[in-house]
Amino acid sequence: MVDPAFFPNPAAISLGEIAEIAACPLPPGIDPDHLISAAAPLDQAGPDAVAYMDNPRYVDALASSRAGCLLVARKFAASVPDGVPALILDKPYPAFAAILSRLYPDALRPGSHFGSLGVSPGSVVHPDARLESGVRVDPGAVIGPHAEIGSGTVVAANAVIGPHVKIGRDCSIGANSSVLHALIGNGVIVHAGVRIGQDGFGFAMGGGGHTKVPQIGRVIIQDAVEIGANSTIDRGASRDTVIGEGSKIDNLVQIAHNVVIGRHCVIVAQTGISGSTTLEDFVVLGGQVGVIGHVTIGMGAQIAASSNVNSDVPAGARWGGTPAKPVRDWFREMTTLKTLAMRKVHTDENAHSVRKTLASGDDSAKDDTPPGSGAAS
């Protein structure tokens, strides 16, 4: 089967250009004009492809690779096969990302799914909306009154941009997404199915029923934020929900009302963040983390996957578990539980062995008389 051309064939890049991007000189004897026109895994890369290596699981694949260019972590340099051009780097992955961006620029952010150049006839744009030149709008998209969208932004098929929403330049608003009650900066990527600015979950609970509390805040999304498919960001109740510059949010993440997320945070899939929680800059939440409301996670803190945070986390801390606690304490508890569990297993096995022996009618198991103390003596 022929591979479908989802991304256009890239313009080739020379080894000399790759060395400049990676800020690493080519080894002696390597032709700087040799062209690279693809990227591939170690075991599939041919003479026209670049590959990278920074994981010990793939040492064998590295040793047999025939790539046209390898980006290799310094600790694996000895495993590079003879004759294969290799750049030895402290961190090869960022260099590989930069080279991929050069080879496949269309893969950096979602574009028009219809090939729209300008506003498609199948879209609905309110006459009071303001779109700068260079905005692309796919069929089925709806843009409400007084919305403003900056140049270079793409609004994909069936997306809904609500009244008075402001979206900056060079953004991507994915198919079937909705953006309401929100102000969005420049270079923001919103993937398909994302919901931004809907009601927060606010009710005055009572014995006779639960009274809905109007949610009158906004969502503020700063520059260069990326929001994964089918994630949801509720608007604030009485103040704004804020996503800081450069933060990256994975698919299927729930961010509740009044949450404030700092700059350059990373939030992995299926995480839920309850209302009025604050994440300071550079926080990392692993997959399926749950965070209770009204807590603060300090700058640079990291929370392990599947953990539940129910208290403030100090800056720079590494926590995990349920409830989350410092990683050393968590590991110590897990080790202790494992030891106790194994001890119980051994105890149960010994007890079962004794019961089985007694049931077999072996009198020696019942006789606790010391040897040599019988009546015959």
Q: What is the DSSP letter of 103?
A: H
Q: What is the pLDDT of residue 127?
A: 98
Q: pLDDT at position 121, please?
A: 94
Average pLDDT value for residue range 153-157: 98
DSSP-derived letter for residue 40 is -
Average pLDDT over residues 172-199: 98
Model pLDDT, residue 195: 98
Strand-pair category, 189-190 with 226-227: parallel
CATH numbers and ranges of domains, the chain: 13-107 (3.40.1390.10), 121-181 (2.160.10.10), 194-351 (2.160.10.10)
- Residues 271/285, Cβ–Cβ less than 8 Å: yes
Q: What is the pLDDT of residue 27?
A: 92
Q: Read off the tokens for 14.
A: 């020379």
pLDDT of 377 strictly over 70: no
Mean pLDDT of 39-59: 95
Report the pLDDT value the prediction gives residue 376, as an integer from 0 to 100: 42
> How many CA atoms lie less than 13 Å away from 361 in the CB half-sphere?
0
Say how far apart CA 196 and CA 199 lie, in whole Å.
9
User: Bigger pLDDT: 7 or 25?
Assistant: 25
pLDDT range class, residue 354, cuts 50, 70, 90: low
The predicted model gives 167-194 an average pLDDT of 98
pLDDT at 1: 35
Q: How confident is the model over 286-313, as a mean pLDDT?
A: 98
Q: Please report which residue ranges of the chain form alpha helices under DSSP H.
A: 15-22, 59-63, 92-103, 327-359, 363-366
Smallest CA-to-CA distance from 265 within 250, 286, 279 is with 279
Determine whether 191 is an active site residue.
no
Instruction: Give dist(CA 279, CA 244) in Å, integer.
Output: 10
| Confidence (pLDDT) at 360 | 72
pLDDT surpasses 60 at 365? no
Over range 272-293, report the average pLDDT: 98
Q: Name the average pLDDT for the chain.
A: 92
> What are φ and ψ of residue 328, in 5° steps?
-60, -45
Mean pLDDT, residues 335-355: 76
% residues pLDDT > 70 (the chain): 92
Please state the rounded mean pLDDT for residues 163-181: 98
What's the count of helices (H) and strands (E) in the chain, helices before strands? 5, 38
pLDDT tens for 102-125 read 999 989 999 999 998 999 999 999
Q: Which of 257, 264, 294, 346 is catalytic?
A: 257
The pLDDT value recorded for residue 364 is 52
Q: Out of 245-254, 291-300, 318-327, 331-340, which region has the weakest mean confidence (pLDDT)?
A: 331-340
pTM to 2 decimal places: 0.86
Structure tokens given for 227: 């929001």
Q: Are 330 and 318 in contact (CB under 8 A)?
A: no
Please give the Cα distance from 213 to 237 (Å, whole number): 8
Distance CA 231, CA 278 (A): 18
The string of pLDDT tens digits covering residues 54-77 is: 999 999 999 999 999 999 999 999
Here the tokens at position 289 are: 């983390």
**By C-alpha distance, which of 274, 302, 275, 298 is closest to 286?**
302
